[in-house]
Amino acid sequence: MALVLVGVACGDDDDGGSSSGGDNPPDLGSLTMGSKDFVGAQILGQVYGQALERFGYDVSYQENIGATETIFPLLEDGEIDLYPEFQGTFLFYREGEPTGDTDETYGLLQDELEGSGIIATEPAPAVDVNGFYMMEEQADELGVETLSDLEGVSQDLVLGGPPECEERQPCLLGLQDVYGLEFASVEKLDVGGPITAQNLVDGVIDIGVLFTGSSVIPDGAVLLEDDQQLQPADNPVVLVREEVDDEALNDLLNEVSAVLTTEAYNEMNRQVTEDQLDPDEVATQFLDDNDLS
């Protein structure tokens, strides 16, 4: 998997794509913010990073790094200092068992990170999970409304989604273990993005794995109900190296998370994917709208 590291200037440099609020905030040191390789994660990286800049940190950005398997080792090695993660996804990566309950899953996350040198901020109320979509016409023809309805027909269907889907419990592994489904083939496409959506529309795949909170869902596509609750409470958190963490930083990140609702997260994603705004612009407006300066 290619690793794309994009350095972004900070502070008052207009070319950096992020803004600092307030009049001459104190210099609290430097931080490197990472982000995963899809639009929603890049927005979150900018939201949290710009909030830290406004507070007085000098923040640089390494964006579009990759999935948890790629970005978390960089955090452990100190190549980045913090990054937005999704708590259920991370627990699956660590072979844990997240639940559909936000608080319970967060407790499991804290237990998993104990003694690791990494801490997790409190979860935001927003949720972004894998959604399994079919074109409505085909779903109607097959009589499919839920994932359980795929039993007996999935072996003739093609599933498409993120390259790591085959190795993830809330994706192919869970479809096999929880729902007992097998597919004719599984296509490795993109992470909840336009390639998967277009393949679904074109009929190249029958079921597309898209994110319920951050993907652009094609017209005419329907979400199959996860009737056996495969998806976890996948709320955003920020993973931070303990070496750079302190009470003020933690309080600020939690303050940002507290207003990061599913509605707000969806709207920011829509502005990037449909209105073609840059993630840093959208993040700046979100912080301004919520008086986070």
Is there a domain that residue 144 lies in? yes
How confident is the model over 46-75, as a mean pLDDT?
Answer: 97
Is there a domain that residue 136 lies in? yes
Q: In sequence order, which residues have a C-beta less than 8 Å from that of residue 133 and are 6 or more positions away?
A: 200, 207, 208, 209, 210, 217, 218, 221, 222, 223, 224
Full domain range(s) for residue 58: 14-127+233-289
Is there a domain that residue 54 lies in? yes
Mean pLDDT of the chain: 90
Query: Quick one: 85 and 139 in the same domain?
Result: no
Whether residue 63 contacts residue 72, with contact meaning beta carbons closer than 8 Å, is answered with no
Residue 192 confidence (pLDDT)? 85
Query: Quick one: 67 and 168 in the same domain?
Result: no
* Cα-based torsion angle of the residue sequence 177, 183, 189, 192 in order, rounded to the nearest 10 degrees: -50
Query: Quick one: 276 and 140 in the same domain?
Result: no
Query: 36-50 pLDDT, tens per residue?
Result: 999 999 999 999 999
Which tokens go with 146? Answer: 């839920």
Query: Quick one: 282 and 160 in the same domain?
Result: no
Q: How many domains does the chain have?
A: 2
Is there a domain that residue 37 lies in? yes
Is there a domain that residue 4 lies in? no
Query: Quick one: 184 and 215 in the same domain?
Result: yes
Query: Quick one: 257 and 194 in the same domain?
Result: no
Query: Quick one: 123 and 141 in the same domain?
Result: no
Q: Apex CA 56: angle with CA 51 and CA 60, to 5°? A: 70
Confidence of residue 18 (pLDDT cuts 50, 70, 90): very low
AA letter at 10: C
- High-pLDDT (> 70) share of the chain, %: 91
Q: Which of 185, 203, 223 is the last residue of a domain?
A: 223
* Bridge partners, 14 (sequence order): none
Question: Higher model confidence: residue 173 or residue 2?
Answer: 173
Q: In sequence order, which residues have a C-beta less than 8 Å from that of residue 281 and are 6 or more positions away?
A: 17
Q: Judging by beta carbons within 10 Å of its beta carbon (0-12, 13-18, 19+), is residue 119 exposed, middle or buried?
A: middle
Query: 226-247 pLDDT, tens per residue?
Result: 999 899 999 999 999 999 999 9
Query: Quick one: 113 and 248 in the same domain?
Result: yes
Residue 148 confidence (pLDDT)? 98
Query: 165-224 pLDDT, tens per residue?
Result: 999 899 999 999 999 999 999 999 998 889 999 999 999 999 999 998 878 899 999 999
Query: Quick one: 66 and 137 in the same domain?
Result: no
Whether residue 150 contacts residue 224, with contact meaning beta carbons closer than 8 Å, is answered with yes
Distance CA 241, CA 152 (A): 47
Which tokens go with 184? Answer: 């004719």
Is there a domain that residue 3 lies in? no
Query: Quick one: 158 and 283 in the same domain?
Result: no
DSSP-based three-state secondary structure for 158: strand
Whether residue 207 contacts residue 159, with contact meaning beta carbons closer than 8 Å, is answered with yes
Assign residue 196 the CATH number of its domain: 3.40.190.120
Whether residue 206 contacts residue 158, with contact meaning beta carbons closer than 8 Å, is answered with yes
Q: Which of 168, 202, 223 is the last residue of a domain?
A: 223
Assign residue 22 the CATH number of its domain: 3.40.190.10
Radius of gyration of the chain (CA): 19
How confident is the model over 25-32, as a mean pLDDT?
Answer: 80
- Whether 6 shows a pLDDT value over 70: the answer reads no
- High-pLDDT (> 90) share of the chain, %: 81
Residue 118 confidence (pLDDT)? 98
Is there a domain that residue 19 lies in? yes
Alpha helices in the chain (DSSP H): 39-55, 68-76, 87-93, 102-113, 136-142, 174-177, 194-202, 247-258, 262-273, 279-289
Q: Which of 223, 257, 273 is the last residue of a domain?
A: 223
Query: Quick one: 23 and 111 in the same domain?
Result: yes
Distance CA 249, CA 123 (A): 15
Query: Quick one: 142 and 217 in the same domain?
Result: yes
Is there a domain that residue 188 lies in? yes
CA atoms within 13 A on the CB side of 145: 1
Residue 44 confidence (pLDDT)? 98
